[in-house]
Each structure stands twice: as C-alpha cells, then as structure tokens.
C-alpha cells in the first residue's frame, strides 16, 4: 500500500470544486485564513490508522482516516443563516465523494476498497465571530 497516492486522490476529489477560493492539504487555523481566502477547504490526515488481521495467513486491512475542514464567513447582515452558506458547500463535498456511475463504493480510482464519510459532521455556526466551520470525518478502507 502506498499512502501518498491515496491521500492525493482523495484531495483531487475536492480541490477542483469552484465553490472554494482556497483548497490545501496543509490545514490552517481558521484565524489564519483571511475572509478573502474563504470559503476554504483543508484536508488533514489522521488521527492514526487501524490495522486489522482476520487471520495469520491473510494480509491486513488498513483503515486510514482524514478530515475535510471547511471555513466560510457569515456576511455582516444579521439575516443570513449560516446553513444557507454552509449547506451548499457540504452538499458539493459529499457529492464529490459519492461513487461514480455504476459503482457501489468510492474507490479513489481503484486505490482503495472504500472511502466514505464516517461519523458525525461537526458544524459551528459562527454566531459569535461570523466564522463558520465544518469538519467532515472520512474513513478509507484498504485491503
């Protein structure tokens, strides 16, 4: 297994989405991403990996993890709900992760068995400072 091509292929799914001003595989803190650079999407690897052995003679299964972090800004008017900004971004990212036509799983071009959102998507509405955040947990299964 080569990890780097897997994480490159995962990032390629979202790096070309025209909804984002900034995309990177190097995560940054929200306070370091200017409003002009948003909406932004960052991919971060981790936390850790799970290695599972079904038997002593079978090769292991690897579970790799990544997160996609989305940053966006609320406009200064108080009438715009954060969901109206964040939801289209989440929809676009989840659509990019969907399996291709005729496929049952997202295989990242045949590099992995499956890649999917795995767990709760964390949302921060930006009520205090106008900074909207979402964190999307991803699980990648490799045989």
Every domain of the chain and the residues it spans: 3-142
- For the chain, give the percent of residues with pLDDT over 90: 82
Domain 3-142 sits in CATH 1.10.3720.10: no
- pLDDT tens-digit readout, 1-35: 899 999 999 999 999 999 999 999 999 999 999 99
Those residues whose C-beta lies under 8 Å from the C-beta of residue 54, and which sit 6 or more positions away, are: 61
Backbone φ/ψ region at 34: left (φ over 0), alpha (ψ -120 to 50), beta: beta
Structure tokens at 45: 């690897």
Cα–chain-centroid distance for residue 49?
17
- pLDDT tens-digit readout, 90-113: 999 999 999 988 999 999 999 999
DSSP conformational letter for 102:
T
Q: How many CA atoms lie within 13 A of 76 on its CB side?
A: 1
* C-alpha–C-alpha distance, residues 33 and 103, integer Å: 36
Cα–chain-centroid distance for residue 91?
12
Residue 11 is predicted with a pLDDT of 98
- pLDDT tens-digit readout, 33-56: 999 999 999 999 988 899 999 888
Taking Cα atoms as reference points, which of 38, 41, 43, 68 lies closest to residue 129? 38
Dihedral over Cα of 8, 19, 21, 137: its sign: negative
């Amino acid at each position: 297994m080569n990890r780097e091509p897997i994480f490159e292929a995962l990032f390629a799914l979202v790096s070309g989405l025209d909804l984002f001003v900034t995309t990177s595989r190097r995560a940054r803190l929200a306070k370091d991403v200017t409003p002009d650079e948003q909406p932004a999407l960052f991919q971060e690897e981790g936390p850790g990996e799970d290695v599972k052995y079904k038997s002593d003679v079978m090769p292991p299964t690897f579970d790799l993890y990544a997160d996609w972090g989305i940053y966006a800004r609320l406009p200064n008017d108080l009438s715009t709900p954060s969901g109206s900004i964040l939801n289209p971004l989440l929809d676009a990212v989840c659509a990019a992760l969907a399996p291709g036509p005729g496929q049952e799983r997202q295989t990242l071009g045949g590099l992995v068995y499956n890649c999917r959102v795995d767990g709760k998507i964390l949302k921060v509405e930006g009520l205090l400072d106008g900074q909207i955040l979402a964190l999307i947990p991803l699980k990648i299964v490799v045989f």
